[in-house]
A and B are shown apart, each in its own frame.
Chain A
Amino acid sequence: MGITFRKETFRDDYTFRNSPDHIRRFPFPFNEDSYMYAVNIEPHVVGPKGSVLENLIDVDEHYVAEMQDRALVLAEDPLRCQSLPHMTLAGWDLLELLMEQQALGYPEHFTLERNGDRWRWINRPLGINDTFTFGDTSTLPYGPMEYITRQSQGDFCILDQRDGNLWMDAGMVTTQADWSLDFDIGMNFFEWHAPVPLAHEKGIFTRALKFLTNIQQGKPARRLNWTMTINPRLDTSPENYHKWGPDRATVTPENVGDKVHLRVELQSFWRLPRSNGIVFPIRCYLIKMDELVTQPKWARRLHRVIRDLPEELATYKGLTRYRPTLVEWLSKLDDGSPTSPGFGPD
């Protein structure tokens, strides 16, 4: 059977939609009626069938459209993909990881044949069939990281580990929630997290770094993060702020359901075997309010979370301008009845 890939856009006419089964598999990030930071890291192990955790690297109905959008972003701004000179080996590590995982999870769409260091990679959705020499950059049309991340959903940061810290030394970042690889490249873990409010005081980053530098091969970990985006725009980068920032002033009581999207990041952390680096895939899932509220539990809970969110967090996530309109709209779907425990819909 396989996945039916949607033809859709994440810009201009914004034809992005979730099919009904993709609404139900949406990784809703709130397991209770309020939200505060926590080091919510857990082992990245395979989850229930039909969820986004069915495979450790998830491919969904938006795959082809997301890859087309990435190509458009890169054509306009090649600095969204950068790799410092010492990170090429880590790029090969990532290429191996993504090819293996995609071929394992979706054999009808991807095939990897390995014959020593002679590898053949078939990507049917994108019409790619390449043979190359693993480790020899001259046998690929791009560097190894760029090659494979043009064929993999989500952003990817590759972190070098040294001096007891992690360094943002390579990445492919085109679907980001308002941060810039070009700005952060070469920074360490504390430097690139400097703008996050409240979490430093709680010692969260010190503990998180200690955890991440001890991530072991074969034992990836994950966490969820979230924000909101107006219109289903993947590329909400600082570089293009002028294109999407003003959208936040366009939310009205009439268009909330169509325009406001919950944006969830499934972040995972993997030790890379040859380079001893860490790769940090940030997979973005979007869902518009009209789709989300088809699940009554999510509608009630999201209302309570957004209504009670601390002001600093609302500001950091960029919700301030349309929060009252959104809360008012959601309140009509919240009859005050209790919500069941856990993330999933009822």
Chain B
Amino acid sequence: MSTGTTKLDVVVSDVVPVNDLVTRFHFRRRDGELLPTFSGGAHVVVEMRDGDRTRLNPYSLMGSPLDTREYTISVRRDDVGRGGSLFMHRQVKPGLEMVISYPVNLFSLDLRAKKHLMLAGGIGITPFMAQTSQLAGAGGNFELHYTCRTASLGTYADVLQQRYGNRVKLYHDDRDERIDLDRLLSSQPLGTHLYVCGPAGMINWVRDRAAALGWPSETVHFEHFAAPQPGAPFDVTLAVSGKTIGVGSQQSLLEAIEAAGVDPPYLCRGGVCGQCETNVISYDGKFIHSDHWLSEEDHRSGCKIMPCVSRFEGKSLVLER
């Protein structure tokens, strides 16, 4: 049974440039009903119909879970990516009808926490927008540390400081402001849970320091959707469906499989949820694994691949699809 999500038919109700890199998109249901309730940290997968090509990218919901008249996402423009963010920035206008998935939460708050300590880097701020709204509404105890390149690229920093005052601390790279991580992690009350969302380097740094300072792994939560990276085109044989397909340089392996009419289950399309895990039957070449789901051992074994984010270079690849 496929574990994909139910779809929602929505219309773009507003498009708001936030700064040089980030634009916010508002969605409402086409039938005028309320959208499904969600929990802070949830994402939706947005379907982008770009000519004959469909991209499906995950974005965190950043509005308040208490208000389901509309969903909002913020998209950072990536000029060298595969084009999803450029499509959103250039072609999505108010009134456009789009399809998004039901919300899925792979970055949930641990509601047992006595305190929620949140660390955001760049566009990684978006899930915390919803989580702080949820916690503030329920009188929750949280503290947010937010690193951005410059003040003008500090997406929503002003909104957050206005809402939560000194519960929000800002760090600007261009002013050489650095979070004193060891001190921060060493001075938290028992029962604190740590959440981090941002670039991979930041997540790894925070996880490593937390582990070194004795934080139990179940109190450290992180979300990093890997965006599928472009790369050299390659061919794949899908053994179960008996098809041989080409994967374009700007296309992910999962997108190519879907374009061939085969639909593996998926939830995050970012190498996190594990749904599209696929067995490798044979290969001659090298894998470029980019997921956070498979173990290093799995990566070395050459027996499995996450087609949402990982690629292949070489002579032949046969998958059990």
Contact = CB atoms under 8 A, between A and B. Distances in A.
A163 B218 contact: yes
Interface string B235-255: 000000000000000000000
B74 to A, nearest CB: 21
A200 interface: no
A162 B108 contact: yes
Contacts of A87: 111
A288 B6 CA distance: 40
A160 B108 CA distance: 11
Contacts of A211: 3
A273 B37 contact: yes
Interface in B105-160: 105, 108-112, 134, 138
Contact of B5 (A96, A160, A218): A218
B287 to A, nearest CB: 23
A214 B273 CA distance: 9
B192 interface: no
Main secondary structure of the interface of B (DSSP, over half): loop
A306 interface: no
B1 A273 contact: no
A320 interface: no
Contacts, number: 65
Contact of A216 (B3, B108, B138): B3
Interface string B25-41: 00000000000111101
Contacts of A89: 111, 138
B271 interface: no
Nearest to A219: B6
A216 B111 contact: no
A96 B42 CA distance: 20
Given A42-B1, A86-B111, A276-B39, A217 B102 contact: yes
A274 B105 contact: no
Given A214-B267, A216-B102, A276 B6 contact: no
Interface string A42-59: 110000000000000000
Contact of A273 (B6, B39, B110, B273): B39
Interface of B: 1, 3-6, 36-39, 41-42, 65, 102-105, 108-112, 134, 138, 218, 267, 273, 275
Given A216-B104, A273-B36, A276-B109, 10 more contacts: A96-B37, A160-B111, A161-B108, A216-B4, A217-B36, A217-B103, A218-B36, A219-B5, A219-B102, A274-B37
